Amino acid sequence: MKVTPTKIPDILIIEPQVFSDDRGFFFESFNGKSFQEKTGLNINFVQDNHSRSSQNVLRGLHYQIKQPQAKLVRVIAGEILDIGVDIRKSSPTFGQWVGVILSAENKQQLLIPEGFAHGFLVLSETADVLYKTNNYYNKEFDRAIRWNDPDININWNSKTSPILSEKDQNAPFLKDAEIFD
């Protein structure tokens, strides 16, 4: 496993060691011991989620204000632009974002830590996204920030308008959102 910090060092790109031959491939998508040794983090993942979305669907930017969730995100079919936004007010990278292309082809994973909002845009015809979380989903604490907030200024690299849920269309801007201290 290879671990690469991004421009926001708390967000990590995880690349598994892939064993390929003419039959196909094999890799460990997660190994707690290796993960802890390579990242220095002891995260207890408790929930696995799977979403399938069509091209141009944008999900996010989501987070839980209490019971915050770290997420380990990967794609098993298709391709997405995965985004993490630092919404920890006391952080030197507050309001900054990182975007990484995750695909079934590159098999990379992205670790989005607690205190970050998360979202993604589907680039392929469809995409199946799997992600682990270290806290259970709790609707009461579920929050979102507007995907096109000008203060965050994410470059989604999309030539068409994204397909959004009502929740994401009506999400507040960062300056009006409930965030982490």
Hey, is 24 helix, strand or coil? strand
Hey, is 81 helix, strand or coil? strand
Q: 100 with 126: CB under 8 angstroms?
A: no
- Catalytic residue list contains 50: no
Q: Give the amino acid at 114.
A: E
Q: Give the amino acid at 135.
A: N
DSSP of 34-48, one letter per residue? HHHHHH-------EE
Q: Within a 10 A sphere around the Cβ of 94, how many other Cβ atoms?
A: 15
Whole-Å CA distances, 61 to 7, 80, 105, 152: 19, 14, 25, 11
Catalytic residue among 62, 118, 136, 137: 62
- Catalytic residue list contains 62: yes
Catalytic residue among 63, 131, 136, 137: 131
Q: Which residue has the tokens 């790109």?
A: 13
| Helix (DSSP H) and strand (DSSP E) numbers for the chain | 2, 13
Classify residue 105 by its DSSP letter.
T
- Annotated catalytic residues are 62, 131
